[in-house]
Amino acid sequence: MPSGSQPAPIPCPICGAGDVNAVAAQPEDYEYRVRTDQAYGILACRACTSEFLAPRPAEAVLPSFYPRDYHAYNEDHGTIVGALVAMRGRKRAEELGRYGLGGQPTRIFDVGTGDCRHFEDMARHGAFEFAGVEINPDMVKSAREKGFAVEPGSLEALDITPYEGRFDVVTMYHVLEHVVSPAEVLARAFSLLRPGGMLCGQLPCVDSFDRAVFGRYWGGYHFPRHLQMFSSHGLATALERAGFGKVRVASALHLQAALSLQNLLVGGLGWRPGMTYGKTPAYPLLLLTAAPFCMLEFVVGRGGIMNFWVEKPA
């Protein structure tokens, strides 16, 4: 590079704009204490108001961001969370079951299946055919042992030719924030769907009361595993750019502020309790403490988690 020249700006991975500014230096992992070889910062996009990790990590290093006791790979449901998860499975089955054609089972492709425990939850309440992709080989092995057709690797690297146009629904719950190229993931989801099929999912929302109140301790940063933190406008923009129609983005009723509160206690106040699957022993109490705040966020449409639903044009 010639002397005095500046490095090329990193475009926003969500909307493609190049007008970005620094938000924070090296963030921290308050849940699992993962240390990265590369130093990262957080940039904010002035165009879509989303934020993202920079420099962009290579896909090959992503598995190192996830410790063996990562919560999504372990049965960590206590009484309160277990009841909420059961309710969620029933609700999703009712919503997605309507997309089957001609009385046939609803065909669902899930991005980031884990061990498919959520497939089992949904199957109790409807008729479905499930498939998906998962980056963790241990989870793929567990899913296949349960009889589910799960491919190893990422959606970006998967040969989707055999799957194109086959599915009524593509789901990606807490996935888009984890991938190197969200635009590529959305484009491939579009190809997987039949005309009129639906893509739906859930992810953190950076323009939330939760983020405004807790700042660097916001649970939605989840460093280093969240590579981008979408705003509601940024998410809608990305979905429209991918070709989807009937875009709906809305706050979800969720208790993520409990994680933000835990991060504040651990990172800001120096609390060092024993952690199990990234949670302190007091986490059930934190859930109850955060519930009124999370309800307020949801009612006014500024929750820390948002849902989205879009359709592939018929």
Assess if residue 156 is contained within a domain.
yes
Give dist(CA 272, CA 290) in Å, integer.
20
Amino acid found at 260: S
User: Nearest CA to 311 among 129, 168, 109?
Assistant: 168
The predicted-structure confidence for 186-239, as pLDDT tens digits, reads as follows: 999 999 999 999 999 999 999 999 999 999 999 999 999 999 999 999 999 999
CATH of the domain at 212: 3.40.50.150
Torsion of CA 296, 301, 304, 306, to 10 degrees: 140
Assess if residue 170 is contained within a domain.
yes
Please list, residue by residue across 169-178, b when 16 or more beta carbons sit within 10 angstroms of its beta carbon and e when fewer do: bbbbbbbbbb
Look at residue 4 in the predicted model and tell me its pLDDT.
43
Give dist(CA 310, CA 314) in Å, integer.
12
Assess if residue 249 is contained within a domain.
yes
Count structural domains, the chain: 1
Look at residue 262 in the predicted model and tell me its pLDDT.
96
The predicted-structure confidence for 296-309, as pLDDT tens digits, reads as follows: 999 999 999 999 99
Assess if residue 36 is contained within a domain.
no
The predicted-structure confidence for 54-107, as pLDDT tens digits, reads as follows: 999 998 899 899 998 888 776 655 566 666 667 777 888 888 888 888 788 999
First-residue to last-residue Cα distance in the chain? 49
Look at residue 81 in the predicted model and tell me its pLDDT.
61
Other C-beta atoms lying within 10 Å of the C-beta of residue 28: 17
Owning domain of residue 78: 58-311
Distant-in-sequence, close-in-space partners of 261: CB < 8 Å, separation ≥ 6: 214, 286, 289, 290
The predicted-structure confidence for 30-43, as pLDDT tens digits, reads as follows: 999 999 999 999 99
Mean pLDDT of 279-285: 92
Look at residue 78 in the predicted model and tell me its pLDDT.
58
Give dist(CA 241, CA 259) in Å, integer.
32
Give dist(CA 224, CA 233) in Å, integer.
23
- What confidence category does residue 250 fall into, taking pLDDT thresholds of 50, 70 and 90? very high
Backbone angles phi, psi at 13, to 5 degrees: -70, -5
Handedness of CA 156, 113, 66, 88 (dihedral sign): positive
Assess if residue 283 is contained within a domain.
yes
Look at residue 24 in the predicted model and tell me its pLDDT.
74
Look at residue 77 in the predicted model and tell me its pLDDT.
54
- What confidence category does residue 13 fall into, taking pLDDT thresholds of 50, 70 and 90? very high
Asked if residue 177 has pLDDT above 90, the reply is yes
Look at residue 155 in the predicted model and tell me its pLDDT.
94
Asked if residue 118 has pLDDT above 90, the reply is no
How large a percentage of the chain has pLDDT more than 70?
93
Assess if residue 97 is contained within a domain.
yes
Assess if residue 99 is contained within a domain.
yes
Assess if residue 98 is contained within a domain.
yes
Look at residue 72 in the predicted model and tell me its pLDDT.
78
Q: Which two tokens stand for residue 167?
A: 């599915």
